[in-house]
Homo-oligomer: A and B are copies of this chain.
């Protein structure tokens, strides 16, 4: 059994990491830390873990050596505690933004959490694209949830040269759980329950992440125009990628073929086809709790637009599930181990 410790496990992503790892056949959860809940049982903040473990939260400083560390601490914390934390485990998977970008890009998008130059680089853990690099990785940064959705839709089109890389609009819609477990005015239920607000029309940090990852995985630099809109749900992201044909398409199905061939061997990405379902649109609802991403693609031939929609659960495929997916790859385990849940409908 691989002994895994989870840092910052009192929040929502941490709760999902614990849910997945406690049921994982090859993993033992050795420790879970939370300053706020230290001394309390895991199910104190996480009702869905009732009966799943008798473990109690430890404070961060009580962290002991283990095989793999999964850090769910807020952005900036792992950087800050690096010298303390990094010697404790041979492998580290980080869910924050601390190591997703190269140092220069990081300093630009996260000016308040500078990353010392001597810190090592992490592998950007987009499993379907990082491939072999993940199997050999010692340090992995889990992508941001909205970047994750957008990239799964965008990358096949860029790689295939189908779309103009200098003009990509990503309009992402997100539930409230991505904002974390700490209450504030904007997450207060009477204010948030009917929210339909483009809370970050420009300047969202995932812009840089999508641009950098597109270059990393396709060799082509893209200019991404990103906006994020809060919608009245808790879990789930829908990223709508508006891209524009770089050349005449062979036929209207060429983008669909690009997506389908990209993900044919990948168990967690599904390309939806019209008429295969009573509701053939990617939607995060039925994906809640799963590590799956649903994609669709539509073409407006007359106006030269290619629209990809990508839906996923921000806390699973967009966070905890990808951490476990990366863990499986790093450990040489079956890719889908511990990630078999297929979702609920209706929900």
Assess whether A190 is interfacial by the CB under 8 Å rule. yes
What is the CB-to-nearest-CB distance from A262 to chain B, in angstroms, rounded to a whole number? 17
Q: Contact string, A215-239, partner B, CB cutoff 8 A, digits 1/0? A: 0000000010101010111111010
Once the chains are docked, how many angstroms separate the CA of A190 from the CA of B182?
10
If A234-B190, A276-B44 touch, whether A198 touches B347 (CB-CB below 8 Å) is no
Q: Tell me which of B16, B182, B192, B270 contacts A50 (CB under 8 A).
A: B270
Once the chains are docked, how many angstroms separate the CA of A48 from the CA of B189?
17
Q: Contact string, A293-333, partner B, CB cutoff 8 A, digits 1/0? A: 00010111001010101010000000000000000000000
Interface size bucket, A side? Answer: 35 or more
Q: Tell me which of B41, B48, B344 contacts A286 (CB under 8 A).
A: B48
Question: From A268, which residue of chain B is reached at the shortest CB distance?
Answer: B51
Copies of this chain, how many? 4
Once the chains are docked, how many angstroms separate the CA of A253 from the CA of B192?
29
If A19-B342, A177-B346 touch, whether A283 touches B46 (CB-CB below 8 Å) is no
Report B-chain residues with C-beta under 8 Å of the C-beta of A344: 16, 19, 48, 235, 288-289
If A196-B284, A198-B238 touch, whether A346 touches B229 (CB-CB below 8 Å) is no
Cβ A242 vs Cβ B229 within 8 A: no
Once the chains are docked, how many angstroms separate the CA of A234 from the CA of B311?
20
What is the CB-to-nearest-CB distance from A286 to chain B, in angstroms, rounded to a whole number? 4
Cβ B346 vs Cβ A311 within 8 A: no
Which of A64-72, A76-84, A119-127, A167-175 interfaces with chain B?
A: A167-175
Question: From A43, which residue of chain B is reached at the shortest CB distance?
Answer: B277
Report B-chain residues with C-beta under 8 Å of the C-beta of A31: none
Q: Contact string, A7-24, partner B, CB cutoff 8 A, digits 1/0? A: 000001001100100010
Which of A96-104, A110-118, A199-207 interfaces with chain B?
A: A199-207
Cβ A184 vs Cβ B183 within 8 A: yes
What is the CB-to-nearest-CB distance from A164 to chain B, in angstroms, rounded to a whole number? 10
Report B-chain residues with C-beta under 8 Å of the C-beta of A188: 181-183, 187-189
Task: State the 9 A-B residue pairs at the shortest beta-carbon distance, nearest first.
Answer: A190-B346, A189-B192, A202-B300, A201-B298, A194-B285, A183-B183, A48-B343, A171-B171, A197-B281
Question: Chain A: residues with CB nearer than 8 A to chain B?
Answer: 12, 15-16, 19, 23, 41, 43-52, 167, 169, 171, 173, 175-177, 179, 181-199, 201-203, 223, 225, 227, 229, 231-236, 238, 240, 242, 244, 267, 270, 276-279, 281-286, 288-289, 296, 298-300, 303, 305, 307, 309, 311, 340-347
A-B contacts, 8 of them at CB < 8 A, read A12-B345, A52-B342, A171-B240, A177-B190, A193-B234, A198-B309, A202-B300, A225-B242
